Structures are given as C-alpha cells and as structure tokens.
Copies of this chain bind each other. A is one copy, B any other.
Amino acid sequence: MSVTIKDIARQAGVSHTTVSRALNDSPLINEETKDRIRTLATKMDYTPNFSAKSLVLDRSYNLGLFFTTLSQGTSAGFFYEAIRGVNNVIQDRYQLIVKGIDDYTSFHSITRKSFDGIIVVSQSDDDQPFIDHATDKGIPLVVLNRPIDTPGVLNVISDEEQGAFLAVSYLIEQGHQRIALVEGRAGFKSAQNRKKGFERAMLHNRLTVNSNYRFPGLYDLESGHKAMQHFLTLAERPTAVFCCNDEMALGAMKAISEAGMLVPRDVSIIGFDNTVYAAYVTPALTTVHRPIEQISKEGATRLISNIENKQHETEQVLLKTELVVRESVRSLLNG
C-alpha cells in the first residue's frame, strides 16, 4: 500500500539499509547519495512507519498526559491550559495522549513500551498509586500541580500556600478581621495548601479564626453558593470571604446577591485561580493567578529533556503565584 524504504531502495538502486541511513542522516553515507535519496523520498511521498520504528528502537513516541479525573471535578479552564502548555512544547516530536487516571481499573497496560514519558497533572493524593506504578516501571515522569513527597520524581508546582497567604494578607491590609474560608475539595492537596496559607496569614497578624467561619467546599459553584448561604445566617457575619477557587467565589457572589446584598459593599470576596471569567463577572473578582500553562510548559520541557538526554533530574520546581486585584474587595480603612 504505502511506500516503504524498500520501495525507495529499489528506485534508487541501493539497499534499504542505505536508505534508512540516508534518511537518518548517518555519517556513513555519502552526501550526494543522501541528497539523492532524500529528494526521491519526498517525491515518492514516503512517511516512516512509526510502528516499525517503535518496535526496533523501543520507543513509542507517545507522551501520556494524565489527569486525576476527566469525568468529574476538573475545571475546564484548568484542563484547557494544561493541554495547551504541553502541546506547545512537544510540537511534532511526540504524540500527546490524554487520559484520566480514574478511567483505569488496573495500571497493567501502562509500561515503558507504551509511553516514553508521562505527565501527571495531579489534583489528589489518590494519584499516588498511579505515580508509584509509573516510577516502578521506570517510566520517565513529571508530576505537575501537586507537591510530591516521593523522592526521585520531577515535580513542578505553583506555590499555593504563598498565594493564599498573599490573598488573605491583602484582605487584612484592607482592614478586614472577620474573614471566612470556603475550603477546597477534601483530599485535594491544593485544598490543604490554600487553607494553610489562609491560616498562616491569620496567625501572622494575630487574628483568630472563628470555627463558624470555615465551610467545606467541592470546588464547584454550588458549594460556594451553599457556603455563603451559611455564612449569611450567622449573627456576626464575616466581612470578607476567602474562597479556595474562583468557581466557589462566583457561587458565593450569587448567594450574596440573592440575599439582596452587594459585593463588595456588604461582603468582600476573594478567589483563587484567576479563571478567564473572573475578570468579567460583576463586580470583577479579585483573585490569585496560578500559572498553569507555564507549569505545564516547564514540566513538559524538563520531562523531554530527561527522556532525550537519558538523565534523571528530580528537582522540585516552585513557580510563584500572584495576586490580581480587581473590584470584589472593599477597603475598611477610613481614610
């Protein structure tokens, strides 16, 4: 059917070995023959058979991009930016295969043969068995977005604890003291770190956290909505709420306006993630920007470098987050 190096060899009057070497730019082959063969190859519209290459070279040309889950809980924007970032650096050297870890009942089929490298965009501790499996099998690996304890694994993350600290410190600077927290999805490391940053900022300013001022969330709009409804029933309402992501912040804003109140006049809201929508909500949401696309670019670049140089760098890379001030926080300072 399709043209192979043997076809080219026949046409060129050489052996298929020579063709193979010529197309791989081997120094063994005369420059003129190389040229002749190369032009002949393009003229004959030759495409290498990657299955055959894979078989003999023991490389799959596949990079796996694994998310904790595809079917639930991953925000669309997050997902999109991660794929963009990775896609951007792999170009045509690899095929990008997108998977959800929770699609697997057994990791048996995940081997060195099927993936030259794996990028895990991790959102939960539940990914650990998968990460261990990949490490055991000796597959080059990078874990993004969630800090990893396992030594010997490349890890690129944003400093979320610092981001939350930044956000809450900002609230305090603006004069807020009764600050509430809508937590992230239980089990997600990001939820823990953002909470930690919140607590550190409070402690650092010698503020105590009312236990009524914490509410569990699921990172979705609905749980932010519910949390805010709860806060609004309290006799002494918080003046500001730190939501562990933007979606929940939007839900909270919704609840506030449903109660006939206004953001930020009655309650200040701050989010996390800097979703595209954050800028266009009314009022525009003050939030923390997390450089997902940059994380995934950085991760993919380092992974590929590890693969191609057969090295095994295992650094942990921390990328800084930054506060994006918009309109959803009111200053309580009388000036």
Contacts and interface: CB of A to CB of B under 8 A. Distances in A.
Interface in A83-97: 83-84, 87-88, 91-92, 95-97
A269 to B, nearest CB: 12
Contacts of A70: 83-84, 87
B71 A60 contact: no
A51 interface: yes
| Chain copies in complex | 2
B221 A95 contact: no
A29 interface: no
A97 B81 CA distance: 17
Contact of A113 (B50, B60, B71, B87): B50
Given A254-B282, A277-B277, A280-B254, A108 B60 contact: no
A47 B109 contact: yes
Nearest to A100: B87
Interface string A91-112: 1100111111001100011011
Interface string A41-55: 000010101111011
Interface stretch (A72-80, A192-200, A208-216): A72-80
B95 A96 contact: no
A54 B279 CA distance: 48
Given A83-B70, A113-B50, A95 B62 contact: yes
Contact of A253 (B74, B80, B108, B282): B282
Nearest to A90: B103
B76 A87 contact: no
A267 to B, nearest CB: 14
Contacts of A95: 62, 97
A138 B234 CA distance: 66
Contact of A103 (B52, B87, B109, B257): B87
Contacts of A49: 55, 113
A262 to B, nearest CB: 10
A28 interface: no
A103 B83 contact: no
B280 A221 contact: yes
Nearest to A97: B95
A6 B297 CA distance: 41
Contacts of A45: 108
B98 A99 contact: no
A34 interface: no
Given A50-B113, A250-B281, 4 more contacts: A51-B113, A74-B80, A76-B80, A87-B98
